[in-house]
Amino acid sequence: MTKIKFIEADGKEHEVEAQEGQSVMQTALNNLVPGIVGECGGFASCATCHGYVDEGWQSKLPPPDAAEEGMIACAFHVKPNSRLTCQIKVTPALDGMVVRLPVSQTSE
C-alpha cells in the first residue's frame, strides 16, 4: 500500500492511500484533498494541480518532460521543487511521499 501525504498551505495534513498507476493528482481528487483543482483533467494543460514534492522524493521521480516544464514555468507560486501532480504516476517507491500545496492554484 502506497501512502501519500498532502499538506495544504495552511498546514492541514491529509494522508491518503494511493493506487498504483494512478496519478498523484487523481489520488488527491479521489480523496477530496482541498487545494488540488485539476481543471484540464490531467493533461498538463492548466497547472492547477501544482504541488511541491519534498526533498528526498524528488530524486525518486522521473524528471518533468517539456510539456510539464512549460506549464510549471508559468504556474503561480513556483518553487524549485514544483511539479504537476497529474504527471507523477504512483509507484510503490513513492510510499510516504509528501506533497505540499500552494496557497492558490488559480491566482497570486
Partner 1 sequence: MEERIVIVGAGQAGGELAAGLRKQGYQGRVLLLGDEAHPPYQRPPLSKGFLLGKVALKDLYLKPLETYERFGIEFKPGTRVEAIDRSTREISLRDGSRLAYDKLVLATGGRARPLSLPGLEGARLENLFSIRSLADVEAMRGGFLPGNHLVIIGGGYVGLEVAAVAVQSGLRVTLLEAAPRLLSRVTGPEVSSFIERIHRERGVEFRLSCEVRGLELDEARRQVRGVSLACHGVPERLEADLVLVGIGLIPNTELASAAGLAVQNGIVVDEYACTADPAILAIGDCANQPSAYTGGRIRLESVPNAIEHARVAAATLMGKREPSAAIPWFWSDQYGLKLQMVGLSTGYEQCVTRGSVEHKEFSAFYLKDRRVIAADVIGRPAEFMAAKRLVSSRAEVDATRLGDVAVPLTSIAA
- Residue ranges binding partner 1 (CB under 8 A): 29-34, 37, 39-41, 43-47, 67, 69-71, 73-76, 106
CA dihedral 75, 52, 36, 17 (to 10 degrees): 160
- Measured from the CB atom, the residue of 17 and 55 that comes closer to partner 1 is 17
User: What whole-number distance in Å separates Cα of residue 24 and Cα of residue 94?
Assistant: 10
Min CB(59)–partner 1 separation in Å: 24
- Measured from the CB atom, the residue of 7 and 46 that comes closer to partner 1 is 46
Are 19 and 3 in contact by the 8 Å Cβ rule? The answer is no
